[in-house]
């Protein structure tokens, strides 16, 4: 039951440096359309979508049963500024966020906490990409 990706999300997914076996964290995944698309492109990889909204996570899980059954996709309710890896969970190669308030510059303290958490959950050479309405930009950590 995969919903069709909007052109904007399709362009964002196309821009991400995806490769075999990559571990991707989507911050603010909403109903999961981009996460599903990425999961379908990376065999042996893994995508975790997080969102602060329980409703969004329920929609994402409801619309992603086939992809989740492959073991390449899961979802968790969490705000990025409080996100922690589960015990035994591997760090991520890349994280991306599309129009996420915690990373748009309007809330400096929340953004500082969010950035700290992102650094903790990404691998040493992990990369963060943020889309704020014009283009996807890599944000140096």
| pLDDT per residue as tens digits for the range 43-80 | 899 999 999 999 999 999 999 999 999 999 999 999 99
| Residue 9 near residue 37 (C-beta atoms within 8 A) | yes
Q: Which residues have C-beta within 8 Å of that of residue 72, sequence separation ≥ 6? A: 39, 42, 43, 45, 46, 47
For the packed helices 33-41 and 7-15, what is the interaxial angle rounded to 10 degrees? 40
State the Cα–Cα distance between residues 92 and 83, nearest whole angstrom: 13
Classify residue 139 by burial, with Cβ atoms within 10 Å: 0-12, 13-18, 19+. Answer: middle
pTM: 0.95
Residue 93 DSSP SS3: strand
CA–CA distance, 130 with 125 (Å, rounded to integer): 17
- Helical segments of 63-134, H only: 65-69, 108-121
> Which residues have a Cβ under 8 Å from the Cβ of 25 and sit 6 or more positions away?
47, 48, 50, 92, 94, 95, 96, 118, 121, 122
Domain boundaries, the chain: 7-102+122-139
Identify the CATH assignment for 7-102+122-139 out of 1.10.10.10, 3.40.50.150, 3.40.50.720, 3.40.640.10: 3.40.50.150
Write down the pLDDT at residue 2: 46
Q: Specify the higher pLDDT residue, 4 or 95.
A: 95
pLDDT for position 3: 56
Q: Each residue of 113-136: pLDDT tens digit?
A: 999 999 999 999 999 999 988 889
8 A C-beta contact, residue 2 and residue 34:
no
Q: Using CA atoms, how far apart are residues 102 and 56, in angstroms rounded to an integer?
A: 17
Q: For position 134, what pLDDT does the model report?
A: 85
Average pLDDT of the residues of the chain = 94
Q: Is the pLDDT of residue 1 over 50?
A: no
């Amino acid at each position: 039951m995969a919903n069709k990706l909007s052109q904007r999300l399709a362009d964002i997914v196309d821009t991400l440096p995806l490769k075999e076996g990559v571990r991707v964290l989507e911050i603010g995944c909403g109903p999961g359309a981009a996460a599903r698309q990425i999961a379908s492109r990376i065999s042996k990889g893994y995508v975790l979508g997080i969102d602060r909204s329980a409703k969004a996570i329920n929609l994402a899980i409801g619309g992603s049963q086939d992809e989740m059954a492959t073991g390449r996709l899961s979802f968790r309710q969490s705000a990025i500024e409080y996100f922690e890896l589960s015990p035994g969970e591997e760090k991520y190669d890349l994280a991306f966020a599309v129009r996420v308030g915690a990373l748009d510059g309007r809330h400096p303290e929340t953004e500082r906490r969010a950035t700290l958490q992102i650094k903790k959950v990404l691998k040493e050479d992990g990369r963060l990409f943020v889309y704020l309405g014009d283009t996807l930009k890599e944000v140096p950590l």
